[in-house]
Structure 1
Amino acid sequence: MHSFIIDCLYGYANLAVLGLALGCMWYAWQTLRRPMEAPWFDLGRQLTVQRQLFGGWLGDVRQALAPWLFIVAAAVYQFEIFFVNSLYRDRLPWLFEYGTMALDHLVVLCLLVKILLCTRYDGRQLAAAFCVLFVIRWVFMNDHNKWMMMALLFALAAKDVPLRRALKLVLPVGALSVGVVALSSVAGVIDTVQELGTGRYRNSFGYGWYNFFGACLLALALMSVCLRGVKRLKWFDFALLAVLTVFCNFGPDSRAVTICLVLLIAALLVVHIWPGVLRPLPVRLLLTAAPLLAFAASMGLALGWNPENPLLARLDSLFSTRISLGWQGITTMPFAIAGQMPGADMLVDNAYLYYWIVAGPVASALIWLGFALLMWRLLKEGLTAEAVCCLVMLCHATMETHVLWACMNVTVWLLCGVLFWPQRQPGFEKTEEKTKIHFKGVVNV
Structure 2
Amino acid sequence: MYSFLVDCLYDYANVAVLGLFAGCVWYAWQTVFGPKTAPWFSLAQQLTTPRILFGDWLSGRRLSIGSWLFTLAAVVYQFEIFFANSLYRYRIPWLFDYGTMVLDHILALCLLGKILLCTRYDGRQLAVAFGTLFVIRWVFMNNHEKWMLLALLFALAAKDVPLRRALKAVFTVGAASVAVVAVSSLLGVINTVQELGTGRYRNSFGYGWYNFFGACLLGLAVMYVCLRGIKRLKWFDFALLAAVTLLCNFGPDSRAATMCLCVLMVAALVVRIWPVVLRPLPVRILLAAAPVLAFAASMILAFLWNPDNPVLAMLDRLLSTRISLGWEALQTMPFAIAGQMPADGMLVDNAYLHYWLVAGPVASALIWGGFALLVWRLLKQGHATEAICCLVMICHGTMEGHVIWACVNVTIWLLCGVIFWPERQPSFSCAEETKKGKIHSKGAVTL
TM-score, normalised to structure 1's length?
A: 0.97
User: Matches of 1:440 and 1:57 in 2, distance apart?
Assistant: 18
| Corresponding residue number in structure 2 for 1:122 | 122
User: Matches of 1:201 and 1:328 in 2, distance apart?
Assistant: 29
The aligned runs of 1:101-112 (5 Å cut-off) are: 101-112=101-112
Amino acid at match of 1:355: Y
Judge conservation of contact 1:64–1:438 (CA < 8 Å) in 2.
no
Amino acid at match of 2:55: G
Deviations 1:305-342 (A, max 9, x none): 11111111111111110000000011100100000011
| Corresponding residue number in structure 1 for 2:388 | 388
1:302 matched to 2:313: no
Deviations 1:343-400 (A, max 9, x none): 1110100000000000000000000000000000000111011000000000000000
Distance 1:357-1:443 versus aligned 2 partners, 3 A rule: closer
Any stretches of 5+ residues in structure 2 without a counterpart?
none
| Corresponding residue number in structure 2 for 1:166 | 166
Any stretches of 5+ residues in structure 1 without a counterpart?
none
CA displacement at 1:433 relative to structure 2:
2.9
User: Matches of 1:74 and 1:37 in 2, distance apart?
Assistant: 36
The aligned runs of 1:190-339 (5 Å cut-off) are: 190-339=190-339
User: Matches of 2:290 and 2:111 in 1, distance apart?
Assistant: 30
| Corresponding residue number in structure 2 for 1:58 | 58
User: Matches of 1:116 and 1:384 in 2, distance apart?
Assistant: 32
The aligned runs of 1:355-394 (5 Å cut-off) are: 355-394=355-394
Distance 1:35-1:98 versus aligned 2 partners, 3 A rule: closer
CA displacement at 1:79 relative to structure 2:
0.5
Judge conservation of contact 2:70–2:111 (CA < 8 Å) in 1.
yes
Amino acid at match of 2:314: R
Judge conservation of contact 2:76–2:107 (CA < 8 Å) in 1.
yes
CA displacement at 1:432 relative to structure 2:
2.6
User: Matches of 1:23 and 1:191 in 2, distance apart?
Assistant: 48
Identity among equivalent positions (%) equals 72
| Corresponding residue number in structure 1 for 2:413 | 413
User: Matches of 1:73 and 1:437 in 2, distance apart?
Assistant: 23
Amino acid at match of 2:280: P
Amino acid at match of 1:155: A
Distance 1:40-1:348 versus aligned 2 partners, 3 A rule: farther
Judge conservation of contact 2:163–2:433 (CA < 8 Å) in 1.
no
Q: Secondary structure at the match of 1:436?
A: helix
| Corresponding residue number in structure 2 for 1:436 | 437
Judge conservation of contact 2:60–2:444 (CA < 8 Å) in 1.
no
Amino acid at match of 1:286: L
User: Matches of 1:35 and 1:91 in 2, distance apart?
Assistant: 59
CA displacement at 1:36 relative to structure 2:
6.6
Equivalent residues, number: 444
Deviations 1:389-445 (A, max 9, x none): 00000000000000110000000000000000000000000113324389987489x
CA displacement at 1:57 relative to structure 2:
1.1
User: Matches of 1:235 and 1:21 in 2, distance apart?
Assistant: 51
Amino acid at match of 1:271: V
Amino acid at match of 1:428: F
Q: Secondary structure at the match of 2:42?
A: helix
The aligned runs of 1:69-80 (5 Å cut-off) are: 69-80=69-80
User: Matches of 1:84 and 1:230 in 2, distance apart?
Assistant: 32
Structure 1 stretch displaced more, 347-356 or 31-40: 31-40
Judge conservation of contact 1:193–1:203 (CA < 8 Å) in 2.
yes
Judge conservation of contact 1:185–1:205 (CA < 8 Å) in 2.
yes
Distance 1:293-1:76 versus aligned 2 partners, 3 A rule: same
The aligned runs of 1:123-202 (5 Å cut-off) are: 123-202=123-202
Q: Secondary structure at the match of 2:196?
A: strand
Judge conservation of contact 1:436–1:442 (CA < 8 Å) in 2.
no
Amino acid at match of 1:70: F
Deviations 1:119-165 (A, max 9, x none): 00000000000000000000000000000000000000000000000
Judge conservation of contact 1:336–1:357 (CA < 8 Å) in 2.
yes
Amino acid at match of 2:134: F
Judge conservation of contact 1:73–1:110 (CA < 8 Å) in 2.
yes
User: Matches of 1:443 and 1:136 in 2, distance apart?
Assistant: 30
User: Matches of 2:415 and 2:35 in 1, distance apart?
Assistant: 35
Amino acid at match of 2:81: I
1:21 matched to 2:21: yes
User: Matches of 1:38 and 1:222 in 2, distance apart?
Assistant: 47
Amino acid at match of 1:191: N
Root-mean-square deviation (CA), in Å? Answer: 1.7
| Corresponding residue number in structure 2 for 1:81 | 81
CA displacement at 1:113 relative to structure 2:
0.3
Amino acid at match of 2:402: H
User: Matches of 1:194 and 1:351 in 2, distance apart?
Assistant: 26
Q: Secondary structure at the match of 1:343?
A: coil
Q: Secondary structure at the match of 2:346?
A: coil
Distance 1:188-1:32 versus aligned 2 partners, 3 A rule: same
User: Matches of 1:303 and 1:240 in 2, distance apart?
Assistant: 40
| Corresponding residue number in structure 1 for 2:342 | 342
Judge conservation of contact 1:249–1:258 (CA < 8 Å) in 2.
yes
Distance 1:60-1:340 versus aligned 2 partners, 3 A rule: same
User: Matches of 1:126 and 1:59 in 2, distance apart?
Assistant: 18
TM-score, normalised to structure 2's length?
A: 0.97
Amino acid at match of 1:321: T
Distance 1:439-1:416 versus aligned 2 partners, 3 A rule: closer
User: Matches of 1:313 and 1:377 in 2, distance apart?
Assistant: 37
Amino acid at match of 1:128: V
